[in-house]
């Protein structure tokens, strides 16, 4: 069973700080890696889908990279804003079409 | 772009009662469909997924079941609810292919009393 880990579990930063967190996995044998932004009582919002080693994706102040050889993906947020506060989920999409989610990183951006 | 509908938005049911949650998708055809649950204080857990009509894969053994009677309809059911079935249930949809994003519905908050 593929195990997806995320670190840190939670993170507090000041408004304007840049931050990053990690998704790690033991195997490169998966279809794609997904990042989501999840606010309490709402549905997860898709951020990025990455499939290839070395992939880099960017959306506004948020970007992500994928290293399948060493088994990790980084999510970066530049100039954090209070509205960035949420839980960020990483998920692996397996060849069997199921998804395995990590436990998430809870980000709080303090004004 | 696809739209995912889930109903009801909230539900309070007694232990032992049946359950039926419905999810329908618009704007896409032949999607992969998923049911997830978030229990209190826990992460997102995949319950079932379907790659086509009548094709259901179960990820976690439990007293829930799923059915896909039509291409864009996914139903989560139970004959007798347990207290541990309480949680936030999300339906998700994804196009075929590795590069497609997975989109989530608005969710159903189920409380079993």
B99 → closest Cβ in A42, A51, A97: A51
Average pLDDT over residues B2-16: 93
CA distance, residue B7 to nearest chain A CA (Å) = 14
How many CB contacts within 8 angstroms connect chain A with chain B?
A: 56
Which of A1-5, A54-58, B9-13, B43-47 shows the lowest per-residue confidence on average (mean pLDDT)? A1-5
Which H or E run contains A100? Answer: strand A99-101
The predicted-structure confidence for A61-80, as pLDDT tens digits, reads as follows 999 999 999 999 999 999 99
The predicted-structure confidence for A78-96, as pLDDT tens digits, reads as follows 999 999 999 999 999 887 7
Average pLDDT over residues B32-55: 89
Q: Are A47 and A35 in contact (CB under 8 A)?
A: yes
B98 → closest Cβ in A32, A103, A104: A32
A49 → closest Cβ in B32, B34, B101: B101
Q: Of residues B43 and B14, which shows the higher confidence score? A: B14
**Residue B91's closest CA among B110, B107, B77?**
B107
Q: Are B110 and B85 in contact (CB under 8 A)?
A: yes
Give A98's contacts in chain B (Cβ within 8 Å): 46, 49, 57, 59
Give B100's contacts in chain A (Cβ within 8 Å): 49
CA distances from A2 to A5, A9, A24, A99 (A): 10, 19, 11, 10
């Amino acid at each position: 069973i593929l195990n997806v880990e995320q670190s840190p579990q939670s993170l507090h930063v000041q408004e304007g700080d840049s931050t990053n967190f990690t998704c790690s996995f033991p195997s490169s044998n998966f279809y794609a890696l997904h990042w989501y932004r999840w606010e309490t009582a709402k549905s997860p919002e898709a951020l990025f889908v990455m499939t290839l080693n070395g992939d880099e994706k960017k959306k506004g102040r948020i970007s992500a990279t994928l290293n399948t050889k060493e088994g990790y993906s980084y999510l970066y947020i530049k100039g954090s804003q209070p509205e960035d506060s949420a839980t960020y989920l990483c998920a692996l999409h397996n060849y069997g079409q199921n998804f395995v989610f990590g436990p998430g990183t809870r980000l709080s951006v303090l004004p | 772009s696809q739209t995912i509908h889930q109903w009801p938005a909230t539900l309070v049911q007694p232990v032992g009662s049946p359950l039926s949650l419905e999810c329908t998708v618009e704007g896409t055809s032949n999607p992969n469909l998923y049911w997830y649950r978030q229990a209190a204080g826990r992460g997102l857990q995949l319950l079932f997924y379907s790659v086509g009509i009548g094709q259901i894969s179960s990820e976690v053994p439990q007293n829930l079941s799923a059915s896909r009677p039509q291409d864009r309809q996914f139903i989560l059911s139970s004959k007798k609810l347990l207290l541990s079935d309480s949680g936030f249930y999300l339906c998700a949809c994804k196009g075929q292919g590795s590069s497609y994003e997975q989109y989530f519905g608005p969710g159903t908050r189920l409380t079993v009393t």
